[in-house]
Amino acid sequence: MKALSSRERFTLALNHQEPDRVPIDLGSIASTIRTVDAYDRLKVYLGLAVDKKIRHFADEHIIPDEEIIKALHADTWYLRMNPPKSWKRERLDANTVADEWSVPWTKAPGSYYTFPASHPIKTPALEEIEKFPWPDPNEPSRFEGLRKKAQQLFRETDYALVAEGVTGVGVFDMTWHLRGMENILLDMLLHPDFTEALFGRLTDYYSALYKNYLQAVGDYIQMVIYYEDVSGQDGPLMSPQLYRKYIKPCHRRIFRTIKEYTQAKLCVHTCGSAYAFLDDYVDLGVEVINPVQISARDMDPHRLKQKYGSALSFHGAIDTQRFLPRATPSEVAEEVRRIIGILGRGGGYLFTSCHSIQPDVSPENIVALFDSAVKYGKYPLP
């Protein structure tokens, strides 16, 4: 088969057809290189100039330069929403920054991750929801210049364009940011009126935000990513019944809004053991699942492809937790060959790591990861 453009390759694969090779992704929250040091080491290894003007979009994730995108054979370019001009990042101390939702995020010295130091909605009272200073989903600065940028990228490059970063997380994630994880899980059982009101208010916000965002870029994108971690390593964070009572109705409204304003594929990111929710996602019209964390319970790639391969495409699946930091480059190449052989048959696979590439992954392994995807991802697969 003749070589295709990145956009053609991406579109065919996510329509469950076999392009010239498996498309490669690099730049989402779930799969990008995590820290400045790791990114600089990779650029030095590749013989590229180290750029000290590194841009972050969330929790020290790196927005990769185009030279890295090209060096790692990526087929995607990400369109992220602007931070609102009404919000100014507030540093509370040397390690803590407050976000737009008044949540203080602390990063301990030596850590790669931040976590909420406290939660602004203190009690499960309805008046707490009413008095909370809700961000404005209609603020024009969030979307300023995005349509022109998307149009230019669509016309002047052949990348598949991916929209993400509407708020970084979904409705459930935001409820625990605002209330705390233990509190919101207890609220689901003990305070149903408050819980439904909180989820409803967040769903109004997300639906308006996606409407505005996709009115700007929806004509030009090929995929939109919605982030919602409802699972842990060993299984769901709540019962499927509680998901269907509180969260699934929110997802249905938000996903309908997304599909109203774009023809792009809908990808849902949910870490860990997401298997219990896959039937629900298919019912909701989800078309792509990320990050396919194969080290988690019930996430065997053979089983996923066999049961859901006709309904869902898979995005990720190369383990970053134990495998990538410890493997040799030749072992990385063999794992890439294995995963592509499972998930790539008949299309329906977008190659990348299953989560952030941490600083303990060597530049040699990163290059082996993406070079091997080109080598072993050519169709027809052996």
At 39, the pLDDT band (50, 70, 90 cuts) reads confident
Greatest C-alpha distance within the chain: 62
Model confidence over 101-123: pLDDT tens digits?
A: 999 999 888 777 788 999 999 99
What are the beta bridge partners of residue 227? 269
Residue 140, exposed/middle/buried by CB under 10 A (0-12, 13-18, 19+)? Answer: exposed
Neighbours of 205 (CB within 10 A): 19
Residue type, 131: K
Q: How far apart are CA 153 and CA 161, in angstroms?
A: 8
Contact by Cβ (8 Å): 336, 369: yes
What domains can be seen in the chain, in order of their start residue? Answer: 1-75+312-382 (no CATH), 79-290 (3.20.20.210)
At 95, the pLDDT band (50, 70, 90 cuts) reads confident
Crossing angle, helix 248-261 and helix 192-217, to 10 degrees?
Answer: 10
Q: How far apart are CA 289 and CA 274, in angstroms?
A: 9
Residue 125: which of 200, 188, 185, 193 has the closest Cα?
193
Looking at every residue in the chain, the average pLDDT score rounds to 93
Residue 98 has pLDDT above 60, yes or no: yes
Whole-prediction pTM value? Answer: 0.95
What are the beta bridge partners of residue 105? 97, 116
Contact by Cβ (8 Å): 285, 240: no
